[in-house]
Chains A and B, each alone.
Chain A
Amino acid sequence: MTNLIEIKGLCARIEDKEILKGIDLTIAPGEVHAIMGPNGAGKSTLSNVLAGRDGYEITAGSVTFKGQNLLEMEPEERAAAGLFMAFQYPVEIPGVVTSTFLRTALNAIRKARGEDEIDGIAFAKLLRAKAGELGIPTDMLKRALNTGFSGGEKKRAEMLQMTLLEPAFCVLDETDSGLDIDALRVVAEGVNRLRSAERSMLVITHYQRLLDYIVPDHVHVLAAGRIVRSGGKELAMELEEKGYGDLAGAAA
């Protein structure tokens, strides 16, 4: 089976600081990989580089996504190709109603793929169904995107977008941080519902707790810009017990 995404020897810097120092990671369709690691290890940097954010210089390595050179694509092209990133800190967009934003995004992706735009009525129906699955009240859809949303609401809104856009590859950057236990369960259920034989995920988290709900196929430890250890879901348990102490040392 061909891999969905292949990251080889990826090095990236921001300004003059080397942050990613040779990442190798291959994810097959349907797999869920978790990345754990201490603060400042480069986890968010990795997700930003994958999503195509400005400001990072790629100094070495390659990323192949569905057989395409991901690093040459604009962020919106990556999204159209099926890459979705759930942000650690979703940004507020004042005045832009959540449902309008979602419809704009969905239609932009459909257009990029050569599909017809979805009409207003069909979209409203779809949105209501998806929001219902995630327990999102319709009130929230009428508010400006992320504006004045609580931490939990922001993360739910991210899940809603992920559900609606049906990406092939989801990067979740600390989607669990700042969530109470109920919200965590909702988010995890949302993610699990999207799991399928074609869809892959990269779940970044600090806590074993999330991985109780979203059971990963592989767990990697990212420390000081490198993957220093990989294993099965039991690795997460081990980390929870022992901390990153030794591993962080191993990376230096």
Chain B
Amino acid sequence: MAATTETIEQVKTLGQEKYKWGFVTDIDMEMAPKGLNEDIIRLISAKKEEPEWLLDWRLKAYRHWLTMEEPHHWAKLSYPKIDYQDTYYYAAPKKKDGPLSLDEVDPELLKTYEKLGIPIKEQEVLAGVRKVAVDAVFDSVSVATTFRDELEKAGVVFLSISEAVRKYPELVKQYLGTVVPHTDNYFAALNAAVFTDGTFVYIPKGVRCPMELSTYFRINAEKTGQFERTLIVADDASYVSYLEGCTAPMRDENQLHAAVVELVALDDAEIKYSTVQNWYPGDENGKGGIYNFVTKRAACRGRNSKVSWTQVETGSAVTWKYPSCILQGDNSVGEFYSVAITNNYQQADTGTKMIHLGKNTRSRIISKGISAGRSNNTYRGLVRIGPKASGARNYTQCDSLLIGDKCGAHTVPYIEARNNSAQVEHEATTAKISEDQLFYCRQRGIPEEEAVALIVNGFCREVLQELPMEFAVEATKLVGISLEGSVG
């Protein structure tokens, strides 16, 4: 059963084709000069025709950032020092600024999204398939937003954040930075200073958003950081389901992605936020890939409000990400469902924080970490029960699956309970894909890599079934693709 040269060749090409989102779009770009200083920030702000208060906020954040240090002591991550002066902070496809109507968008860009499998045209939807509205962010700017009329009729605001600042300045000002302040952490401060685009969503009182909303982030330009900022506000008794997807070209250098996401749920509101993160992970020797430092936080401000984070993290060379919920409102609910897959030399340090402040607040954490190759995968989670959070409850389940014996899986739970009536439960397991399971599948005709994908998908099922149906299929495929080359 020796591998022939032919199969070795095949496996090699597989390795190269594996990241099929790795192409580069050739398009004229408008770039700000490299490096970071106050002038660059002024330039970004001017490009976006921002009001004075926003420029002031950016500058405040920048000045604060200068006093901070990059947090590398506590996360289980190691990467070379990032040179913040060697990055472009603004890159936009030439043409006029801001999102255009669909027929005005550069066809090259439309092709890019088509290649990525993203429904940027408002195509006729087939029976039984729900509509999905898309905001497409290409490097530093949003290039298109779909289904605007239909959403407008429902009263839903779904815009790029730059446009929202122009059209709804009061609304943006009321909430921006209230969940993740500009001083929050190193990367959040950097983001506040230089964020270029992102999505703004406002769901008015009592409205159930009539379709899935989604944003696709695409890094294209070289040596460019992506710093998007997303703000979603769900007013009383409203509901929205939102999904973000991310891809980037294959490049040998590392690129920085430092995003901030803020969610606000008022009384009886519910936000379901799903992420399929598929940034370029680097090659099989650990060269290249995205550094993904992201701050995502939800404020469940209202009574009976609910926020549910679902993430499928398969990409990036380094992931540093802890989508969290601040459960302020009584009876509010926070959920975190996560699948994190690392292969080759990828590193992920991800988890959540559930901060229980209100009475009878509940949280649920289901984390599935899969490590293969020489990767490292850490779950890091905090459950804090404040003194006033009587009757608070948390359930945490962290399962790790190892493929091969050169990878690492780590679980780091922090529990702080300051109320005696709280109930906190934590369960953790670590397992390997067994030879018996693989042989069983192969005996039924399923080749080894497909068997691994099947078994891993089974392991993640609880989380994957939280995704909106349209994306669950995509995520299932992605699980298989990201583990290619992990066995044999």
Contact surface of A with B, Cβ cutoff 8 Å: 51-55, 72, 74-76, 78-80, 84-85, 87, 90-91, 93-97, 100-101, 104-106, 108-109, 112, 144, 161, 165
Q: CB of B153 within 8 A of chain A?
A: no
CA distance A54 to B487 in the complex (A): 14
CA distance A101 to B442 in the complex (A): 12
CA distance A47 to B429 in the complex (A): 33
A54 in complex: contacting residue of B439, B458, B459, CB < 8 Å: B439
Instruction: Taking A74-B442, A80-B445, A104-B454 as given, write out 16 further A-B residue pairs in contact, using a Cβ cutoff of 8 Å, ordered by the A residue number.
Output: A54-B439, A75-B442, A76-B447, A78-B443, A79-B442, A87-B443, A90-B440, A91-B437, A93-B441, A93-B458, A95-B460, A96-B457, A101-B441, A105-B444, A105-B446, A108-B444
Which B residues touch A94, using CB under 8 A? 458-459
CA distance A52 to B437 in the complex (A): 14
- The total of chain B residues at the interface (CB under 8 A) is 24
Q: Is there contact, CB below 8 Å, between B448 and A76? A: yes
Which A residues touch B445, using CB under 8 A? 76, 79-80, 105-106, 108-109, 112, 165
Q: CB of B1 within 8 A of chain A?
A: yes
Q: CB of B435 within 8 A of chain A?
A: yes
16 pairs from A and B in contact (CB 8 Å cutoff): A51-B443, A53-B439, A54-B435, A74-B1, A75-B442, A75-B443, A76-B448, A78-B443, A79-B444, A94-B459, A96-B461, A104-B450, A108-B447, A112-B445, A144-B458, A165-B445
Q: How far is the CB of A155 from the nearest CB of chain B, in Å?
A: 14
Q: CB of B462 within 8 A of chain A?
A: yes
Q: CB of B151 within 8 A of chain A?
A: no
Q: Mark B316-333, 1 if CB is under 8 A from A, else 0.
A: 000000000000000000
CA distance A75 to B444 in the complex (A): 8
Which B residues touch A91, using CB under 8 A? 434, 436-437, 440
Q: How far is the CB of B159 from the nearest CB of chain A, in Å?
A: 38
CA distance A144 to B458 in the complex (A): 8
Q: CB of B455 within 8 A of chain A?
A: yes
Q: Is there contact, CB below 8 Å, between A72 and B1? A: yes
Given A54-B435, A91-B436: A96 and B455 interface contact (C-beta under 8 Å): yes
Q: How far is the CB of A86 from the nearest CB of chain B, in Å?
A: 10
Q: How far is the CB of A95 from the nearest CB of chain B, in Å?
A: 3
B443 in complex: contacting residue of A72, A85, A100, A144, CB < 8 Å: A85
CA distance A109 to B444 in the complex (A): 8
**Closest Cβ neighbor of B461 among chain A residues:** A95
CA distance A109 to B447 in the complex (A): 9
Query: Which 8 pairs, one residue from A and one from B, show the smallest C-beta to C-beta distance?
Result: A95-B458, A96-B458, A79-B445, A109-B445, A105-B444, A75-B442, A95-B461, A108-B445
Which B residues touch A90, using CB under 8 A? 440
Q: Is there contact, CB below 8 Å, between B443 and A101? A: no
CA distance A79 to B447 in the complex (A): 10
Which residues between 439 and 488 of chain B lie within 8 Å of chain A, taking CB atoms? 439-448, 450, 454-455, 457-462
Which B residues touch A53, using CB under 8 A? 439
